[in-house]
């Protein structure tokens, strides 16, 4: 029997990152789960918190009010295409079909219709054949959504634009590899990767997880930021139509930040020390008493 949803954490370990010859890696299980469940759409919101804009490496006037969503195709591209490696050569195939592109663009347009009706299609159509198919399909679909302003941007330009003018974006849709990289860049806008949740949806059971990877070095130290995981729970509730419950979780997170109940990497100078468990307990108490 399928579960209604999966709340997932993070996988990975530096010992695998630095061993190119490793035959088994934790990420293989994650990719297999996405493929098995048909989770082709990864929804990653990038939203700033007013009390944390000073933590962003960007100027306050650039990031305050930034609020956009990256729709990342999750089961195609180089991560799943044909691969080969020996001591002299290696390749990864960036393979996409029209069907895969159409369905993820449809998700992008649906989100744009619910937001500010602006969709940016990110590709590398000046170099990659796979990106030229992406752009061709997007140009064919755009007239079906006349209410949405559709623009097209090369991935290198998009990466630069996210730093120069993050408030330009509303909904961004792109392929697997580009989406992985751009959303990590997006986390810097908010001031911490520990603040961004995500939802992976598609053919079967949806998965909700923070976008940050694992942090084995922090094991047992009680310093990891739990907010991205908690906000992933808010996305889970909202996915099932429980909007009030999701809103309460978000309100609790904002309240904890405003009260300076924060883990070390986002705490204000001279602020009280709170660990992972302390922050979680404070938010539970807030929700319980609401």
For 57-115, how does the pLDDT look when each residue is reduced to its tens digit (9 = 90+)?
Answer: 899 999 999 999 999 999 999 998 999 999 999 999 999 999 999 999 999 999 999 99
Q: Is the pLDDT of residue 1 over 60?
A: no
Structure tokens at 155: 């991935």
Is position 203 within any domain?
A: yes
The pLDDT of residue 269: 87
Is position 115 within any domain?
A: yes
Q: Is the pLDDT of residue 139 over 90?
A: yes
List the catalytic residues: 79, 124, 156, 180, 184
Q: What percent of the chain has pLDDT over 70?
A: 94
* Cα separation values, 143 from 53, 138, 149, 153, 261, Å: 37, 9, 10, 18, 48
Q: By mean pLDDT, which of 3-12, 99-108, 119-128, 252-261 is the weakest?
A: 3-12
Read off the pLDDT of residues 155-189 as tens digits, 9 standing for 90 and up. Answer: 999 999 999 999 999 999 999 999 999 988 888 88
Count Cβ neighbours within 10 Å for each residue of 47-63 and write b for 16 or more, e otherwise.
bbbebbbebbebeeebb
- List the one residue out of 143, 183, 178 whose CA is nearest residue 166: 183
| Same domain flag for 68 and 196 | yes
Residue partners of 143: CB distance under 8 A and separation at least 6:
none
N-term to C-term CA, the chain: 35
Structure tokens at 201: 């949806």
**How far, in Å, CA of 173 to CA of 164, rounded?**
19
Give DSSP secondary structure letters for 137-150.
Answer: HHHHHGGG-TTSEE
The pLDDT of residue 204: 87
Q: Mean pLDDT, the chain, as a whole number? A: 91
Count Cβ neighbours within 10 Å for each residue of 183-217 and write b for 16 or more, e otherwise.
beebbbbbbbbbbbbbbbbbeebbbbbbbbeebee
What pTM did the predictor assign? 0.86
The pLDDT of residue 275: 95
- Per-residue pLDDT, averaged over 267-280, amounts to 93
Q: Is residue 65 a contact partner of residue 73, using CB atoms and an 8 Å limit?
A: no
| Same domain flag for 134 and 97 | yes
Residue partners of 59: CB distance under 8 A and separation at least 6:
none
Q: Is residue 66 a contact partner of residue 189, using CB atoms and an 8 Å limit?
A: yes
- Per-residue pLDDT, averaged over 118-138, amounts to 98
Number of structural domains (the chain) is: 2
The pLDDT of residue 25: 66
The pLDDT of residue 190: 85
Classify the C-alpha dihedral 67-39-182-191 as positive or negative: positive
User: Which of 162, 197, 213 is the C-terminal boundary of a domain?
Assistant: 213
The pLDDT of residue 37: 86
CATH of the domain at 71: 3.40.718.10
| Same domain flag for 277 and 171 | no
Is position 194 within any domain?
A: yes
| Same domain flag for 209 and 226 | no
- Per-residue pLDDT, averaged over 203-226, amounts to 86
Cα-atom radius of gyration of the chain, to the nearest Å?
19
Read off the pLDDT of residues 14-65 as tens digits, 9 standing for 90 and up. Answer: 665 565 666 666 667 777 888 888 899 999 999 999 888 888 889 999 999 9
Residue 286 sits in which domain range?
Answer: 215-290
């Amino acid at each position: 029997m399928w579960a209604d949803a999966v709340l997932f954490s993070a996988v990975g370990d530096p010992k695998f990152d630095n061993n190119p010859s490793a035959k088994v890696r934790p990420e293989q299980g994650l990719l297999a789960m996405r493929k098995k469940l048909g989770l082709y759409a990864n929804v990653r919101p990038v939203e700033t918190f007013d009390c944390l804009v000073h933590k962003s490496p960007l100027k306050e006037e650039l990031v305050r009010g930034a609020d956009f969503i990256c729709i990342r195709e999750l089961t195609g591209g180089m991560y799943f295409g044909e691969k080969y490696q020996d001591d002299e050569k290696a390749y990864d195939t960036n393979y996409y079909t029209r069907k895969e592109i159409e369905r993820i663009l449809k998700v992008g347009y649906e989100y744009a219709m619910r937001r500010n009706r602006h969709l940016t299609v990110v590709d590398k159509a000046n170099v990659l054949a796979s990106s030229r198919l992406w752009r061709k399909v997007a140009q064919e679909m755009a007239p079906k959504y006349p209410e949405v302003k559709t623009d097209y941007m090369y991935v290198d330009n998009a990466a630069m634009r996210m730093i120069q003018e993050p408030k330009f974006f509303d909904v961004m849709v792109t392929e697997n590899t580009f989406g992985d990289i751009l959303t990590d860049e997006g986390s810097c806008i908010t001031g911490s990767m520990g603040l961004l949740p995500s939802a992976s949806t598609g053919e079967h059971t949806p998965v909700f997880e923070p976008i940050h990877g694992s942090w084995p070095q922090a094991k047992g130290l009680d310093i990891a930021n739990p907010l991205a995981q908690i906000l992933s729970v808010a996305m889970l509730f909202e996915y099932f139509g429980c909007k009030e419950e999701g809103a309460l979780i978000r309100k609790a997170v904002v309240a904890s930040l405003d009260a300076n109940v924060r883990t070390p990497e986002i705490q204000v100078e001279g602020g009280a020390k709170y660990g992972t468990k302390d922050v979680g307990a404070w938010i539970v108490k807030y929700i319980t008493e609401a």
